[in-house]
């Protein structure tokens, strides 16, 4: 069987997209596609047409693509692959800028490499992990070797006459007991250290394990070691081993804190749903680099998961990168989340001592918890929303007009008119135009 036959057999055995997506063949039609509003189904139809399994229909494929653009302009299926721009196509100034950056980086690496070669190696050596018993035995054996005496030569009869076997056996027993006590003491110390390390958080334990070693490193060695730890953390992050990634990111942050290792550790915290820790790292990143787009996007995501939608300011990300696909989708989702929040009312409340303060409450809280309190609802400018004194409730509030209710003004005006007519002994029907016609009696 040739290679072409094997490929043809593989295509026959492979499940077709029509069966995989459960799309009827009559749905691949212009009227149906133009009237379709389901984005998921339209994506499946577009994939089937692009695969050419049912035939080559360029006009129908273009129709599906146009309809998908109308329903979901930022859809991932509409992305086009663009080849990298070759060096010869760049402008001279832009090409020189890239070359200068590469040259500067190369010079910087050469300087660091020279410093690392010339720097003295630290005397401290990292102890092997989880080998407490071996370390204890090494320390004890080392002490015994220092105390070891010279053996008596076989031909030294005078020394053998002075040798007391019982005394020597007693001394060996005492040395063995002392050695055993030292081992037990060191074991107790190690157990206490392990218990203290168990009470620590993962980050504190990692810092405690390397702090003695790091203090002897030069700044260049710290920078190189921090970069290595960050790269190892990146590998663990890609394989979804988040605890291991967090360990190496924490080491990198402790050895030489930078924007990238703080940012990467915050991304790990987000994956683990530790939003407060992620926000703490992201705030540090933004203090170092206020224009960092990744940090602003991740901080918005953290605020969204904490249901603090109004703090998730995604506009800054879109202002810097308008074509950021994830940020655009996140902004749409954030608008929907904000629309579900209960409406807030700003109330200026007066307490028993006559002092006022402003609170933001929901409508349900305003109707239940504040119905017996002396308050007025205000707008964003601090002014009352009700600017009249119809019911006399807001008499003492500043900025409220104290005119009579409009429906009572004509009644009071009529009464004054009738009183004036009775004093002048005339009977003129009341009309607003007649008020000025009354003349005093001579």
pLDDT, residue 427, reads 53
| Residue 269 confidence class, pLDDT cut points 50, 70, 90 | very high
Residues 271 and 365 in one domain: no
- 135 inside domain: no
Please check whether residue 149 lies inside any domain of the structure: no
pLDDT score, position 71: 87
59 and 47 in one domain?
Answer: yes
Of 397, 389, 401, give the one whose Cα is nearest residue 348: 397
The confidence score (pLDDT) of residue 264 equals 93
Task: Tell me, yes or no, whether 267 and 375 share the same domain.
Answer: no
Number of domains in the chain: 4
Gap between the Cα atoms of 234 and 240, Å rounded: 10
Give pLDDT, residue 9.
Answer: 63
Same domain, 237 and 300: yes
CA-nearest of 270, 264, 331 to 302 is 270
pLDDT at 126: 47
Cα-Cα-Cα-Cα dihedral of 109, 115, 117, 120, to 10°? Answer: -150
Lowest mean pLDDT among 84-88, 232-236, 282-286, 392-396: 392-396
Q: What is the pLDDT of residues 306-329, one digit of tens each?
A: 888 878 888 888 888 888 888 888
pLDDT band at 384 (very low <50, low <70, confident <90, very high): confident
For residue range 75-93, list pLDDT tens digits in order. Answer: 888 887 777 778 788 888 8
In this structure, the answer to whether residues 363 and 381 fall within a common structural domain is yes
Q: Are residues 196 and 262 in the same domain?
A: no
- Give the HSE-up count for residue 414: Cα atoms under 13 Å, Cβ half-sphere: 8
Do 336 and 222 lie in a common domain?
Answer: yes
For residues 45-60, average pLDDT:
87
Q: Provide the pLDDT for residue 436.
A: 46
Query: What pLDDT score does 73 carry?
Result: 85
Q: What is d(CA 380, CA 398) in angstroms, rounded to the nearest whole number?
A: 16
57 near 45, Cβ under 8 Å? Answer: no
Can you give the pLDDT at residue 403?
46
Residues 232 and 331 reside in one and the same domain? yes
Asked if the structure places residue 177 within a domain, the reply is yes
What is the percentage of the chain residues whose pLDDT exceeds 70? 73
431 pLDDT above the threshold of 70: no
**Same-domain check for residues 336 and 238:** yes
Query: Where a domain ends, among 193, 214, 235?
Result: 214
Whether residues 189 and 297 fall in one domain:
no
Range of the structural domain that residue 283 is part of = 217-340
Residue 315 lies in a domain: yes
Q: What is the pLDDT of residue 266?
A: 93
Chosen domain end from 54, 74, 94: 74
pTM exceeds 0.85 for this model: no
Residues 6+ apart with CB under 8 A from 60: 28, 29, 30, 33, 49
Distance CA 137, CA 42 (A): 71
Q: Which band of pLDDT confidence, cut at 50, 70 and 90, is reported for residue 368?
A: confident
What pLDDT digit, counting tens, does each position of 137-194 carry?
555 455 555 455 566 676 766 777 677 777 778 888 888 888 888 888 888 888 877 7
Residue 261 falls within a domain, yes or no? Answer: yes
Q: Which of 35, 58, 74 is the last residue of a domain?
A: 74
Question: 130 pLDDT exceeds 80?
Answer: no
Report yes or no on 121 lying in a domain.
Answer: no
Do 229 and 325 lie in one domain? The reply is yes
Query: Are residues 317 and 372 both part of a single domain?
Result: no
- The 3-state secondary structure of the chain, one letter per residue: CCHHHHHHHHHHHCCCHHHHHCCCHHHCCHHHHHHCCCHHHHHHHHHHHHHCCCCCCHHHHHHHHHHHHHHCCCCHHHCCCCCCCCHHHCCHHHHHHHHHHHHHHHHHHHHHHHHHHHCCCCCCCCCCCCCHHHHHHHHHHHHHHHHCCCCCCCCCHHHHHHCCHHHHHHHHHHHHHHHHHHHHHHHHHHHHHHHHHHHCCHHHHHHHHHHHHHCCCCHHHHHHHHHHHHHHHHHHHHCCCHHHHHHHHHHHHHHCCCHHHHHHHHHHHHHCCCHHHHHHHHHHHHHHCCCCHHHHHHHHHHHHHCCCHHHCCCHHHHHHCCCCHHHHHHHHHHHHHHHCCCCEEEEEEECCCCCEEEEEEEHHHHHHCCCCCEEEEECCCCCECCCCCCCCCCCCCCCCCCCCCHHHHHHHHHHHHHHHHHHHCCCCCCCHHHHHHCCCCC
- What confidence tier does 37 reach under pLDDT thresholds 50, 70, 90? confident
- pLDDT tens digit sequence for 220-259: 888 888 899 999 999 999 998 998 999 899 989 988 899 9
> Looking at the domain assignment, is residue 58 inside a domain?
yes
pLDDT greater than 90 at residue 128? no
Task: Render pLDDT for 191-204 as a digit per residue (tens, 0 to 9).
Answer: 877 776 666 667 77
Residue 320 is assigned to a structural domain of this protein: yes
CATH number, residue 286: 1.25.40.10
């Amino acid at each position: 069987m040739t290679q072409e036959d094997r490929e043809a057999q593989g295509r026959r055995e492979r499940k077709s997209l029509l069966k995989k997506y459960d799309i009827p063949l009559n749905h691949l039609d212009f009227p149906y596609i133009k009237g379709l509003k389901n984005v998921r189904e339209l994506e499946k139809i577009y994939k089937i047409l692009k695969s050419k399994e049912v035939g080559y229909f360029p006009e129908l494929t273009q129709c599906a693509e146009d309809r998908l653009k109308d329903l979901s302009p930022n859809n991932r299926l509409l992305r086009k692959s663009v080849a990298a721009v070759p060096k010869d196509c760049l402008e001279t100034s832009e090409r020189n800028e890239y070359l200068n950056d590469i040259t500067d980086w190369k010079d910087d690496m050469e300087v660091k490499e020279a410093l690392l070669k010339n720097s003295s190696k630290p005397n401290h050596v990292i102890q092997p992990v989880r080998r407490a018993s071996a370390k204890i035995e090494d320390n004890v054996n080392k002490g015994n070797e220092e105390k070891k005496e010279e053996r008596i030569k076989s031909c030294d009869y005078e020394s053998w006459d002075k040798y007391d076997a019982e005394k020597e056996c007693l001394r060996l027993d005492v040395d063995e007991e002392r050695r055993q006590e030292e081992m037990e003491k060191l074991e107790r110390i190690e157990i206490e250290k392990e218990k203290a390390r168990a009470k620590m958080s993962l980050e504190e334990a990692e810092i405690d394990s390397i702090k003695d070693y790091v203090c002897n490193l030069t700044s260049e060695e710290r920078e190189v070691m921090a970069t290595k730890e960050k790269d190892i953390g990146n590998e663990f992050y890609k394989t979804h081993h988040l605890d291991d990634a967090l360990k190496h990111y924490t080491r990198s942050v402790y050895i030489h804190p930078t924007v990238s290792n703080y940012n990467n550790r915050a991304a790990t915290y987000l994956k683990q749903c530790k939003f407060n820790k992620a926000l703490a790292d992201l705030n540090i990143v933004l203090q170092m680099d206020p224009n960092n787009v990744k940090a602003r996007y991740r901080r918005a995501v953290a605020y969204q998961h904490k249901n603090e939608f109004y703090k998730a300011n995604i506009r800054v990300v879109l202002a810097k990168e308008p074509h950021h696909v994830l940020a655009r989708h996140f902004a749409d989702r954030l608008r929907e989340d904000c629309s579900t929040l209960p409406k807030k009312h700003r109330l200026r409340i007066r307490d028993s001592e006559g002092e006022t303060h402003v609170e933001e409450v929901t409508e349900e809280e305003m109707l239940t918890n504040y119905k017996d309190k002396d308050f007025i609802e205000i707008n964003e400018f601090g002014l009352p929303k009700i600017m009249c004194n119809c019911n006399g409730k807001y008499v003492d509030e500043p900025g409220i007009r104290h005119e009579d209710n409009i429906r009572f003004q004509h009644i009071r005006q009529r009464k004054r008119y009738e009183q004036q007519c009775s004093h002048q002994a005339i009977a003129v029907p009341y009309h607003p135009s007649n008020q000025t016609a009354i003349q005093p009696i001579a």
